Chain A
Amino acid sequence: DVKVTQSSRYLVKRTGEKVFLECVQDMDHENMFWYRQDPGLGLRLIYFSYDVKMKEKGDIPEGYSVSREKKERFSLILESASTNQTSMYLCASTGQGSNQPQHFGDGTRLSIL
């Protein structure tokens, strides 16, 4: 079974802090994704990566950056956290092929005070 592990289930940070969210997958997947999930808005794509050191902006990249130094690890960085970034953050991974399902981690509920 594919395992996608997010480093924290709950996180509380202060406005202006630099925040790191970590995600690790164990299935040698090429593609990894970061989404945020807010009530009534579904899952919105922040960034994704299709290879080590490669990244592409999603639909809402402003205020975020990402890092993929190793194939199994994809990090989301909030450069200077703001209260409107309080949300549930979900990481996912998938193999090659357009019909491959995305496998999600359990999510990190991030609160910015």
Chain B
Amino acid sequence: GQSLEQPSEVTAVEGAIVQINCTYQTSGFYGLSWYQQHDGGAPTFLSYNALDGLEETGRFSSFLSRSDSYGYLLLQELQMKDSASYFCAVNTGRRALTFGSGTRLQVQP
């Protein structure tokens, strides 16, 4: 079967750096995505990694190691508005994504 593991909750303070890990076990792999979802809101796309390495988009970076079946989302200079749930998702090649159960990030002042 397919499984994605990510921590259920992470807490950090404003201005800090936080890393949210995701390990996956899937029957196919084309890429790893990250989505952000604020309470009551729709998930929104943050990043996509198809190849090994680090992708940077402003304060957010995402990393992938295909050999380790592992990726992470790195959030720098944390702001209160970053408090949200973060989901990793694998593209297994069937057009649909397989999502992890989500990591709830709480940013404290």
Please tell me if the beta carbons of A105 and B100 are within 8 angstroms of each other in the complex.
no
A99 contacts the other chain (CB 8 A): yes
Contacting residues, chain A, for B93 (C-beta < 8 A):
98
A98-B30, A99-B50, A101-B33 known; A90-B42 Cβ under 8 A = yes
Contacting residues, chain B, for A106 (C-beta < 8 A):
41-42
Chain A interface, DSSP helix/strand/loop, else mixed:
strand
Please tell me if the beta carbons of A105 and B42 are within 8 angstroms of each other in the complex.
yes
Contacting residues, chain A, for B89 (C-beta < 8 A):
43
Q: How many A-B residue pairs have CB under 8 A?
A: 59
Chain A residues within 8 Å of chain B by Cβ, number: 27
Please tell me if the beta carbons of B42 and A40 are within 8 angstroms of each other in the complex.
no
Partner of A98 from the list B91, B99, B101 (CB cut-off 8 Å) is B91
A interface footprint on B18-58 (CB within 8 Å = 1, 0 otherwise):
00000000000011010100000111110010100000000
Contacting residues, chain B, for A41 (C-beta < 8 A):
101
Task: State in angstroms the CA–CA spacing of A31 and B95 once bound together.
Answer: 8
A77 contacts the other chain (CB 8 A): no
A45-B96, A90-B43 known; A40-B48 Cβ under 8 A = no
A98-B91, A101-B45 known; A40-B101 Cβ under 8 A = yes
Please tell me if the beta carbons of A48 and B96 are within 8 angstroms of each other in the complex.
yes
A98-B30, A99-B50 known; A43-B43 Cβ under 8 A = yes
Task: State in angstroms the CA–CA spacing of A94 and B91 once bound together.
Answer: 13
Please tell me if the beta carbons of A42 and B100 are within 8 angstroms of each other in the complex.
yes
Partner of B50 from the list A4, A98, A101 (CB cut-off 8 Å) is A98
Please tell me if the beta carbons of B101 and A104 are within 8 angstroms of each other in the complex.
no
Output the least CB separation between A30 and chain B (Å): 9
Please tell me if the beta carbons of A43 and B95 are within 8 angstroms of each other in the complex.
no
Output the least CB separation between A111 and chain B (Å): 16
A40-B8, A41-B101, A42-B100 known; A102-B45 Cβ under 8 A = yes
State the A residues within 8 Å of B (CB). Answer: 4, 31, 33, 35, 40-45, 48, 50, 56, 58-59, 90, 92, 94, 98-99, 101-107
